[in-house]
Amino acid sequence: MPDANHAVLDFLHTRRSRPAKLLQEPAPDRDALKLILTAAARTPDHGKLEPWRFIVLERAALKRLALAVDHCGAQTGRAAEDVEKARKQFSDSPLCVAVVEVQKPSEKIPAIEQTYSTGAVCLALLNAALASGWGANWLSGWPAHDNGFCGNALSLADNERVAGFIHIGTASALPPERPRPDIDAITTWLDT
Ligand SMILES: Cc1cc2nc3c(=O)[nH]c(=O)nc-3n(C[C@H](O)[C@H](O)[C@H](O)COP(=O)(O)O)c2cc1C
């Protein structure tokens, strides 16, 4: 039998996000976050293209983004409740990392594989934060998909988009477990 790493397996079998609404300060400092980002960047990446990067949103930037949500929401005619929900995602966050997909031109690596790798980075970042003892939550919301917002507030280029806003902080409570997939229902075993 292989030599199992039981601590890691225990983590993987019990890990769960902490809803962003339950996150408060303190958040990891820059040194602690850099270790988490280093773990997150250790992610499968076909062709070593590094089709992703991080934007760390500290408190002043989060306040600015909250204002930018208001501005963008008004300009694009979004419903007041949608604007409020998106604004609070930034105004109430202790710390957030925007994981940005950076599509690289490649004859060999399909664009979709760069997208998959970026999603994997998001989960790796979430798990590294959780394993470090922080609460963390992967959110999107309409600002993640609004090119105007991302261009103006985050200065994203045309080949870039937000794969996730990973909020990190101290969880004020442990949420109830959510239902998890029935493995038998989603697994097909082929032996011929
Ligand atoms: C790409 C992506 C975007 C998400 N965006 C949101 C969101 O905007 N709001 C939300 O409540 N949950 C969102 N979620 C769901 C949560 O991050 C997460 O799946 C849920 O809290 C349970 O995660 P866990 O398996 O780590 O416990 C998103 C998940 C993914 C993968």
- Tens-digit pLDDT profile for residues 17-37: 999 999 999 999 999 999 999
Distance CA 140, CA 142 (A): 7
Among 102, 100, 68, CA closest to 87: 68
In the prediction, which pLDDT does 170 show? 98
In the prediction, which pLDDT does 15 show? 97
In the prediction, which pLDDT does 116 show? 98
Q: Flag whether 17 is marked binding.
A: yes
Among 149, 184, 159, CA closest to 69: 149
Distance CA 114, CA 10 (A): 29
From 16, 18, 96, 140, give the residue whose CB has the most ligand 1 atoms within 8 Å, as the site to mutate. 140
Q: Flag whether 13 is marked binding.
A: no
In the prediction, which pLDDT does 168 show? 98
DSSP 22: G
Residue 140 DSSP SS3: coil
Q: Name which residue sits closest to atom 25 of ligand 1, judged by CA.
A: 16
Ligand 1 pocket residue status of 111, Cβ below 6 Å: no
Distance 139 CA to ligand 1 centre (A): 5
Domain 20-173 has CATH 3.40.109.10: yes
Distance 137 CA to ligand 1 centre (A): 7
Ligand 1 pocket residue status of 89, Cβ below 6 Å: no
- Residue 18 and residue 172 in contact, taking contact as beta carbons nearer than 8 Å: no
Among 185, 144, 180, 147, CA closest to 55: 144
* 105 Cβ contact partners less than 8 Å away, ≥ 6 residues apart: none
The domain locations on the chain are: 20-173
Tens of pLDDT along 92-115? 999 999 999 999 999 999 999 999
Output the pTM of the full model: 0.98
Distance CA 37, CA 7 (A): 21
In the prediction, which pLDDT does 144 show? 98
In the prediction, which pLDDT does 117 show? 98
DSSP labels, 161-190:
EEEEEEEEEEESSPPPPPP---HHHH----
Regions of the chain where pLDDT drops below 50: none
